[in-house]
Amino acid sequence: MNTFGKIFHRLAGPGVAVGIGLLLLGACGPTRPQDQLPWITPDEAFEDQTARTGMDGGAFVTFGLKIRDPKDVCREEGDYIPATHAINNGRLQTLASGEVIYVRNADNLQRRSVWVAADKLYFIDESGCKAHDIYAFDGYYAGTDGSWDQHVARLTTDTRAVNGSKYREEGKPGGSYLQFNMAADGNGSVQRVNPASNVKEEYKTDPFGRGAYALEKTEDPQVRAHLVLLPDGRTALLSQAGQTQKFILE
């Protein structure tokens, strides 16, 4: 079993129910029935959005922004910044295995593919963990500590992979590699291969835009990852379970 496989099994082990599914939202709710999917719906997530309450015609009204698909958010230009849609109705939580996740205060449901407001603005990737050294779904950059680095320009190019070629993990000749079969619209699949252990994992690719993709493991949709293809056409960044790997086209 590779490193990410071990991490996933630690996350999903007894006493820690970390669900990794859906494009926007995931969960780790021990109070939810075992026979139900422990994920909240977009309707249930509205309360997560940064909002304020005020008076309107004598009635209390909550003003705020509705949770939206990151595919739509990432296309926005102009005044859009991560703070615009950062959520703050939850908390960062460090698991025993070291990964940092974000859960709602109301019910401990886990979130994914969002910016969250804590002491800084942090990017929670598609695997449900705080990511670092990678561009988020909206093209903004999460730095070494996982927070928004305002000194790095927003990524605008929507790059596709070179199909059939190997993207080898940087600095590791003969190490693991990615191999793509991607359509012109960005949908398709990618294999992550570890030659040393002869392990092959296949993921479906779902494009956010701006070179970013949500990955879903074909044989186990709960295992997810965040991928970015850089404009140089040679570099792929992969974020999963709190780790970031860089792969270079051979």
* CB-based contacts of 197, cutoff 8 Å, min separation 6: 2
> Highest mean pLDDT: which of 23-32, 111-120, 201-210?
201-210
Average pLDDT over residues 108-135: 91
Residue 31 pLDDT more than 90? Answer: no
* CB-based contacts of 58, cutoff 8 Å, min separation 6: none
Quick one: pLDDT band at residue 72, thresholds 50, 70, 90?
Answer: low
Task: State residue 13's pLDDT score.
Answer: 38
Residue 39 pLDDT more than 70? Answer: no
Task: State residue 250's pLDDT score.
Answer: 96
CA 31, chain centre distance (Å): 24
Task: State residue 146's pLDDT score.
Answer: 98
Quick one: pLDDT band at residue 45, thresholds 50, 70, 90?
Answer: very low
Residue 235 pLDDT more than 70? Answer: yes
User: What is the C-alpha to C-alpha distance for residues 8 and 222, in angstroms, rounded to an integer?
Assistant: 9
Quick one: pLDDT band at residue 85, thresholds 50, 70, 90?
Answer: confident
In whole angstroms, how far apart are CA 91 and each of 133, 139, 200, 212, 241? 21, 24, 35, 25, 17
Q: 136-159 pLDDT, tens per residue? A: 998 999 999 999 999 999 999 999
Task: State residue 147's pLDDT score.
Answer: 98
Task: State residue 42's pLDDT score.
Answer: 44
Mean pLDDT of the chain: 77
Task: State residue 90's pLDDT score.
Answer: 85
Q: Is 12 left (phi over 0), alpha (psi -120 to 50) or beta?
A: alpha
Task: State residue 74's pLDDT score.
Answer: 56
* Cβ contact 103:28 at 8 Å: yes
* Cβ contact 104:82 at 8 Å: no
Q: Is 233 left (phi over 0), alpha (psi -120 to 50) or beta?
A: left
Where helices occur in the chain by DSSP H, the ranges are 3-11, 70-73, 82-85
Average pLDDT over residues 54-62: 43
Query: Phi and psi (nearest 5°) for 173?
Result: -55, 130
pTM to 2 decimal places: 0.75
